[in-house]
Amino acid sequence: MKNIDTLMEKAAKLKSEGLVEGQISEELNISRETVTWLLTHAEEKGDIPGPKDISVDWSTIGRNAYRLRYISQALTDMIYECLEESGESVDLVVGIALSGVPLANMVAETMEVDMAIYTPSKQRWSQENDVVTKGSFSANFADVKGKECVVVDDIITSGRTLEEAVNMLSMRDARTNAIGVILDKKGIVDIAGVPVRSLLKVIRVN
């Protein structure tokens, strides 16, 4: 219960600082549904069971550039392996904002290719304003049109964000040839037909 209470406090604090639920989801590495539950039931202290989810804190890696570089190198190695298996190529790494960006930067540097940044629609999502929004590619980074891409993010929670990114790339005549993440909560083999490689997988036994 202490861990749940801590998550409730963190979610409430982030909400009070002006973040919407989608952004809180990104910060705590949990689903939007879990964020909504944490905010709704903060006063009830867990009397109502929450959704099945896992909060992942990888800040001990993220706060240290040395550790982050080695994790990114391992991620790059996995992506290369995936591309070799499929016979595909890469000329652009797409980082998913927010937490996938530093990883994508280092992966792109190692692969010696350009980098693009995709901000998913969930970054704008809130329970109070539950409207359909679109994600966007940053104009300050590489153009994705017609490129052979790999997508990099930190964690797969539901897979919706990465599916959205793959679809948005397809709409710009870009092909996604691999997806690389640190941790996969769902044990996903592929997303929208794109192979997924993760350094760690969470496997539920019940």
State which residues form the domain around 17: 2-40
Residue 68, C-beta contacts closer than 8 angstroms, at least 6 positions apart: 61, 62, 102, 103, 106
Q: How many residues does the chain have?
A: 206
88 domain-assigned: yes
- State what percent of residues in the chain have pLDDT above 70: 90
Residues 66 and 34 in one domain: no
Name the pLDDT band for 130 (thresholds 50, 70, 90): low
CATH number at residue 73: 3.40.50.2020
Name the pLDDT band for 175 (thresholds 50, 70, 90): very high
Summarize the confidence of residues 100-111 as an average pLDDT. 98
184 domain-assigned: yes
Tell me the pLDDT tens digit for each residue of 22-70: 888 888 888 878 888 888 875 555 456 667 788 889 999 999 999 999 9
SS3 state of residue 70: helix
206 domain-assigned: no
45 domain-assigned: no
pLDDT value at residue 177: 98
Strands (E), 46-193: 92-96, 114-119, 136-137, 148-156, 175-184, 190-191
